[in-house]
Structure 1
Amino acid sequence: MVTEITQRMANLRTMALRTACAVPFAFAAQQAAARPPAAASKMVEYRAQAGDTLYDVAARYLQGSDDWQLLQQINSVPAPKYLQRGVVLKLPVVRLRKEKLTARVIAVQGTAERASGDAFTALANDATLAEGDRVRTGPNGFVTIKLADGTHMSLPPDSQLDLKSLRRTVLTGTLDREFELTRGSVTSEVTHLKKRDDRFQIRSPSVVAGVRGTYFRVNYDAAGNALTRVEVLDGTVGVAGHRQAAAPTLVHANFGSVSTSSGAVGAPVELLAAPALAYPDKVQDESDVAFDVAPLAQAHGYHVQLAHDAGLLDLFRETRTDAPRAVFSDVPNGNYFVRLAAIDENGLEGVARTYVFERRVMGLDASASPGAGGYEFRWSPSGSGKDAHYRFVLSRSKDLSAPVVDQVGLQACKITIVHLPPGDYYWAVTVEELEGGKFYEKTSPVSAFTLSR
């Protein structure tokens, strides 16, 4: 009888062992069938820490605690309560757990919106964006977002960027970021990727651009002939068509590439050099802000952008012009930055150059009329402080040479000149001001009048 009971218990233990072994083997077979052999066999190592169990390791670094059975099968280890410290376990890459990351909006100007579902709502500065969100800008909108690793991505007007993937592998720290540009353009300054398997990709409907620590732009012409332009300013970008089986075309710094709607990637083309500003020290004191660009050979146009910061993350105005001159209206007083780039025959934007400029409106409306005892001149300044002084010049010549009157240090906004003989006269007023250790002056247009008697 004892022998019979002993045999039954042994049989039960054998069946239980077979069942326990069958579960991970069946699970492993199911997972292997669902992925390519190379991916299924790729492993990373983990060194067990004090207090670790297979359950803990699976819960922290794999898809869930149930994956302990897969760990047990792969590593051929028992399932004790605690693993021996220092034991090296192999973990399948395809089962590694990934945590979702977020991005933060660090600058917004004009019309900008975000959508987490179907409806778009206004986008505010310091807003948090997540995987699956979409960001779009209106005709006057600018947005810059910052990723967790310090990467910056800036959208100019009439652009849309979808955040397809924002993830980090918990065990290895590998980053996986994928974006889709459905219209417009995006400029990316990518923090150098630390892991070999880190991924940063921007897709358009026809191509994908993958990088490893670089500064580049992608433009998708959704409204035109569906061309995708990639311009690399630093580092290297691999550009490949979605249906392209060959290796990506490598585009290095200061080169660009144009891809067709079918995904055919054009050969790299050297970008145009950075243009120069004709009058870089000019104080922008007119009613409009205007920049004259030194014409650049082979340039078919120019792209001019204004920003609050030197890195041009906080953009607020831009224009594209065929002529080497750009004009902006309604720019408040302040210190700003302007970035210039030339555009070639392929529509590729070249290397940019940035200048700082000062915006300080200083205007003078002047008038002259006969008054009691002489001729009275008046002027009304705008943009000047309370400590401004004025210089009045009256001459018989249009160039104001050999002045009849040259009065400096005036504080009042008028002057009366008496005993003028008949003849033609020309005059102007200059406002002079010292503020913050800097000297400013602005001269009104030259006015003329004739004194008949």
Structure 2
Amino acid sequence: MMFSRGFWSSAIVLVTLLVPQCFAEDWLYTVRKGDTIWGLSHKYLKDPLKFQDIQKYNNVKLDRQLPPGVTLKFPMEYLKFAPAEVNVNSINGEAYFVRRGVRTPLTEEQKLVLDDILVTKKDSSVALLFADGSELLLGENSELIFDVQTKWGETGMVDSRVRLMQGSAEGRVEKLRGPGANFEVQTPSAVATVRGTEFRVRLDKENEGIVFNEVNEGTVSVQLHENKESVKEGYGLITSAKLPLTKPKELLPEPKWVNPRSKYPGHPVTVTWQPIDEAISYQVELFKDKELTVLEYKATVNTHQFTLPEVEVGEYSLRLRAIDKDGLQGLNATHHFTISPVPTSPQLNTFIEEYTAGESLEFSWKAADGATQYRWQLAKDRQFRNIVSQTDLKSRVRHIQEGLPAGTYYWRVTAGNYHGFGQYSEPKRFDVKRPIPPQLVLSAETITTEDALTLSWKPVPLAKEYYWQVSTDEQFRDIIKEGKSQSNHLVLEGFPEAQLYIRVATLGPYNRSRFSETQRVLIEPQGNGKTAFGIGSVLLFILLL
């Protein structure tokens, strides 16, 4: 996107570097041992024969007796100057430059000069190094024009002026070295930065006439038309060509990391920070280097936690800042870390989904490439917040011979090496149910005091023995007989005349005090007539048949 020269003349945005000394039209030089005006003139002047003018200008009578520490003044118009080049430090994604109407893909070997136009594409960025050591990181979908690139001989002074036509740029600008040193970024709004300053300039995506200017370090002078504002470190300013210049606004503070780690064993890498009350969102940027010049990924998030995309293992830098309701981005929080290579998640073997409490269990999984160890986890919930057991193993099998109490469980496994453990497998669910109580059956519902009573029930899995009780009351407060049995049946006799209640329980894992349903038996006296009559009637009935 190109703007007309009329636009720029009506609303010029200057990013000029404010010199910490006065802006005299003289370059100042501090004399070192052995310096002479003749030698300095040959080194710095366009016309070395002007040495006599320099001698008179500084009121120096004996050229060869200049004492070290004396300051000499050189008029700027006498100094050598030549076009300067801008180096390409790094390229992330795709970018190209236009020189005399010819569009060429950008490479790191390319030198950018006066009148070049640099363009970055979506999800791309370019890190630039200027002749004085200043750096500029051009963001995605940006266009930058190099208006002035001048180097004042060997004085160290560099005049760099660029126009940001669209997109964003952030700079780390070196300290000024004299009146000829300059660094300007023109946009539809004005920003002037000091040497040694870290600043950001962003054109609004919806309205490129609005520009966000933010200062992380140093002081910035913002100029729009004839108006000027000074923006100090930790402040920002939103400017518009159509609106009056406003006052700077304090930026949101840098976010505070929560339990940051210097080393992450593979993915996922999740970072957390303390929320900032005034923040409506956060800008997250991932760089491949500690210098924050190779941008790998960026995102805007509305939470105070973020999981990075899966990237290659290696060293990274994460930069984070809060964004306020006006769109100004706050101070930076930076975190350097390493993502180490770890094995992939193991594949779990087929597993039965239902067990009986106390039944032995076996968990197994397939080998993971490069794994030297495994970590097995058992939990009561899918999120593994309530972990029941965790074990580190060299083998790929975990046994629980004693079984588990009844309940719902989840298990998972991660593989590890000397770097640490990787991602966990997808959890598997299984249920453990309590064994059913014995189902008690009596041989008769009514017997005499002389008769025997047979008790029987189906065997219960995992039962070690059984415990039985006989009581005169249904609540088993008056127990008249009790005992243990190794088998699932027994014969009892010698009951008193009464209404009796009988029950049996399994003695085994996770079964204590789980009794069968209570059964009733009526004990009647021997020879009361009922039993004899009953038996005689049955025999007579059979004979009659």
SS of the residue corresponding to residue 176 of structure 1 reads strand
Q: TM-score, normalised by structure 2?
A: 0.60
Q: Which amino acid aligns with 1:348?
A: L
CA deviations 1:297-325 (Å, max 9, x no partner) are 11121111111222312221111223334
Query: Within the alignment, does 1:214 sit opposite 2:197 as a pair?
Result: yes
| Kept after mapping to 1: 8 A contact 2:149/2:159 | yes
- Is 1:385–2:385 an aligned residue pair? no
2:38 aligns with 49
- Aligned partner of 1:311 in structure 2 is 291
- Please give the TM-score of this superposition, normalised by the length of structure 1: 0.70
Distance 1:419 1:206, change over 3 A: closer
- What is the CA–CA distance in structure 1 between the aligned matches of 2:40 and 2:74, rounded to whole Å? 18
Distance 1:316 1:231, change over 3 A: same
Q: Which has the larger radius of gyration?
A: 2
d(CA) in 2 for partners of 1:284, 1:43? 55
- Identify which of 409, 412, 416 aligns with 2:393: 409
Q: Distance in 1 between matches of 2:81 and 2:245?
A: 32
Partner in structure 1 of residue 246 of structure 2? 266
Residue correspondence of structure 1 range 218-367 to structure 2 within 5 A? 218-221=201-204, 223-224=206-207, 226-241=209-224, 243-244=225-226, 246=227, 248-262=228-242, 264-281=244-261, 289-360=269-340, 362-367=344-349
Partner of 1:118: 101
1:368 and 2:353 aligned: no
Measure how far apart 1:378 and its partner are.
4.1
3-state DSSP of counterpart to 1:232:
strand
Question: Alpha-carbon deviations, 1:55-108, whole Å to 9, x = none?
Answer: x99xx844x89xx9xx79x99x9xxxxxx978xx99874575420111211121
* Whole-Å separation in 2 of the counterparts to 1:204 and 1:320: 24
Measure, in 2, the Cα distance between the counterparts of 1:43 and 1:400: 74
In 1, Cα distance between the equivalents of 2:379 and 2:302?
A: 41
Residue 448 in structure 1 maps to residue 448 in structure 2:
no
- Count of aligned pairs: 386
> Of 435, 448, 451, which aligns to 2:418?
435
Deviations 1:362-410 (A, max 9, x none): 5344242359xx976443576x63423344659899877666xx76423
Q: Please name the residue that 1:178 is paired with.
A: 161
- Secondary structure of the residue aligned to 1:295 is coil
Corresponding residue number in structure 2 for 1:167: 150
Q: Which structure carries more relative contact order (alpha carbon 8 Å, separation 6+)?
A: 2
2:171–2:199 contact (8 Å) kept in structure 1: yes
Contact 2:126 2:138 in 1 (8 A): yes
Contact 2:27 2:178 in 1 (8 A): no
Aligned-partner Cα distance in 2 for 1:222–1:377: 55
Distance of 1:418 and 1:156 partners within structure 2: 60
Partner of 2:505: none
Map Cα deviations across residues 142-201 of structure 1 (whole Å, 9 max, x no partner).
211112222111122222222211112237553211111111111111111121342111
CA distance in 2, matches of 1:334, 1:197: 42
AA matched with 1:201: E
Bigger drift between 149-158 and 220-229 goes to 220-229
Aligned to 1:195: 178
Q: How does 1:34-113 map to 2 (within 5 A)?
A: 49=38, 61-62=45-46, 93-94=76-77, 96-113=79-96
* 8 Å CA contact retained: 2:265, 2:421: no
Q: Which secondary structure does the structure 1 equivalent of 2:175 belong to?
A: coil
Match of 2:140? 157
Partner of 2:444: none
Q: Which has the higher helix share?
A: 1
Greater mean alpha carbon deviation, residues 424-433 or residues 296-305: 424-433
Contact 2:157 2:176 in 1 (8 A): no
Amino acid at match of 2:168: S
1:125-164 alignment to 2 at 5 Å? 125-164=108-147
Aligned AA (2:393): G
Q: How far apart, in 2, do the equivalents of 1:294 and 1:391 lie? A: 32
Q: 1:364 to 1:176 in 2, by over 3 A?
A: same
Give distance in 2, aligned partners of 1:386 and 1:132: 56
187, 199, 217: which one pairs with 1:204? 187
Separation in structure 1 between the aligned mates of residue 404 and residue 213 of structure 2, nearest angstrom: 70
Q: Which residue of 2 aligns with 1:16?
A: none
> Is the partner of 2:332 in helix, strand or coil?
strand
Contact 1:288–1:327 (CA under 8 A) maintained in structure 2: yes
What CA distance in whole angstroms lies between the structure 2 residues aligned with 1:451 and 1:231? Answer: 60
Are 1:390 and 1:411, in contact at CA under 8 Å, matched by a contact in 2? Answer: no
CA contact (8 A) 1:283 1:358 kept: yes
For residues 175 and 408 of structure 1, what CA distance do their matches in structure 2 show?
61
Gaps of 5+ in 1: 1-40, 78-83
Shift of 1:268: 1.1
Structure 1 residue 249: deviation in Å? 1.2
What amino acid maps onto 1:310 in structure 2? K
